Each structure stands twice: as C-alpha cells, then as structure tokens.
Amino acid sequence: MSDFVNEFWNWYVILIVLISIVACAVFLWTQSQARRGGPTTDTTGHVWDETLQEYNNPLPRWWMWLFYATVVFALVYVALYPALGRFPGVFNWSTANEHKKEVERVEAEIRPLFEKYLKMDLATVAADKDAMEMGGRLYQTYCMQCHGATAQGSRDKGYPNLTDKDWQWGGEPEQIIETITNGRIGMMPPYGGNPDAVGGEAGAKEIASYVRSLSGLSHNAELAAKGKERYAAVCIACHGPEGKGMTALGAPNLTDKVWLYGSSEAKIVETIVNGRNNQMPAWKDFLGEAKIHVLAAYVLGLSSGSAAK
C-alpha cells in the first residue's frame, strides 16, 4: 500500500482495520455476558409456528472462544503481514517479493535448457527440433500479439511479416538478435505540415505514383514523372536513389511488393502527409540473452524455412 497520495489515507486505513478488530472483540464480550432476570427467560420476540420462540441466551462458551481466537489471529496477522497502511509487517512479506522469488526459482531451473544453445549459431539452433519448440512457445507468449499467430504480421497496423524474406532492419542473425534485444524505433517524418517539401497533398500524390511505379504497381505516368523529381529532393536520403531502402535506418525497400501500411495510393499519400511511427520493444531485460538467442533462431527459421518441424 505504498501508493497513498498522502499520509491521511495511510492512517485512515490503519485506524479502520484496528477499530474493526477491536469492535468485533467488544461485541463478542457484550454478547457473552450471562443475563440475570426473574423466573422467565428473555426472548428475542421472534415466534414461529405459534409456540416456537427464539430465546435470548448467550452463545456456548466454546463457540465464543473460537470467535475470540479469530480476533487474536487477526491482531497477530496484521502485525506480521502488510495489512495496516504502509506498515510492511514484521515479516516484510509482499506479493512482489514472492513473485520475484518464484521467477528466480523457475529461471534457475530452465536457464540451463536455453544456455546450451548460446554456443551454437542461429542456423544450427533453427535446425534443432527441441529448440524450435521452445522458440515457438516464446513466440506465442511474447510476439504473437503484434505479429499474429502465423507470424504474418498486420498490414493495417504496420507489424511486419516474419515469414517472408523482406527485412526492414536486416535479416542477418546478428541483426535479428539486435532487433529483439534492443528493439527498434521506425519513424517516417510527416511532410503534410511542410508544403515546400513535397508540394502539399498534390505533390504527395505525385510521389505516391512514382513509388507505386517502383514496385510495378499501376500508376499515373505523368504524375510519376513529376513525383520522381520530388522523390529525388526529399526521399532519396533514406530510401536511396533506386528506392531500395536502407536497413541501417530501417528505411523500407520501395521496389518490392511488401508494404507495412498498404500499397494503395491513398495509403501511400497518408504515409507521406502524416508520417508513420512504429516501435519494436526491447526484450533484453525481460528475456535475457539465452532466450533471445533461441527466439531469434525461431524467427530466422520462419523466414528461411529451415526451422525444424
């Protein structure tokens, strides 16, 4: 309970808990006192079936002592474990610490299973059936949410297809490991707010026609000719003079038929005008080197078709 906004709520919780426990003890004490009266016994006033009455007698002593025991147990519990505001308890126990210990225990057990593959290159690991089963489970746990169950990505959201041979940041083993380890940030700057750069939406359409021509898609030849000049002035720095991209920058190849956000003129114009931002999270602190090595081999196998079945 370390997220209280101020000290008032800390003491509020402490008082509520302690008062509730003490109130239970007081209530038990008042209910356990023997009632003295005349020859008649008090009733609660409840009557059923004409003559069946509920008497106002104390609970049996053994039952009362059980309730007193629960009060004592509650006081001992809040002293030993975190139940009173920020007070961590004598044992300093927390779910976070328990989870950390459990993770460390499991990691100690499974670490040797992954570390034996660190001495192998990715191609060799990709050919190992057991390693690929492990890599597949890692993929289903950590990668499927973005790249899909079949690893074919999502064009509408800009998640790359991992089963083809097109690599935005490079498909060499060390590049795949780098991508998973440290993540990637892909950014296409928006040019809509700078009419001088691409000539507004009309100029963006001209560039879109030229870009479509690079990959053999249908296009307006007249607009493409104008777009080529604009491309040379604005886009060539990242995508290169031939539009083949630059893996060092994560600039996509514009000459193939692989599109992260769609190949229609409208989608390309949207990309030019509004830009694109995409991020691959870094997994080095979460997965560690050994697991990343096996996962990278699995991804490499998806692309090359060399993964063990």
What ranges do the domains of the chain cover? Answer: 7-93, 122-183+281-304, 188-276
Q: What is the pLDDT of residues 139-169, one digit of tens each?
A: 999 999 999 999 999 877 889 999 998 999 9
Please give the single-letter amino acid code of residue 234: V
Query: Do the domains 188-276 and 122-183+281-304 match in fold?
Result: yes
The 3-state DSSP class for residue 53 equals strand
Q: What is the pLDDT of residues 8-45, one digit of tens each?
A: 988 999 999 999 999 999 998 887 776 555 555 677 77
Taking all residues of the chain, what is their mean pLDDT, rounded to a whole number? 89
pLDDT at 61 exceeding the cut of 70: yes
Q: Is 188-276 in CATH node 3.40.50.920?
A: no
pLDDT at 4 exceeding the cut of 80: no
Asked if 309 contacts 245 with a C-beta cutoff of 8 angstroms, the reply is no
- Would the pTM count as exceeding 0.85? no
- For domain 122-183+281-304, which CATH number applies: 1.10.760.10, 1.10.3260.10, 1.10.260.40, 1.10.230.10? 1.10.760.10
Average pLDDT score over residue span 124-142: 96
Q: Following DSSP, what letter does each residue of 221-278 receive, concatenated?
A: HHHHHHHHHHHHHHTHHHH-TTS--BTTTTBPPSSSS--SS--SHHHHHHHHHH-EEE
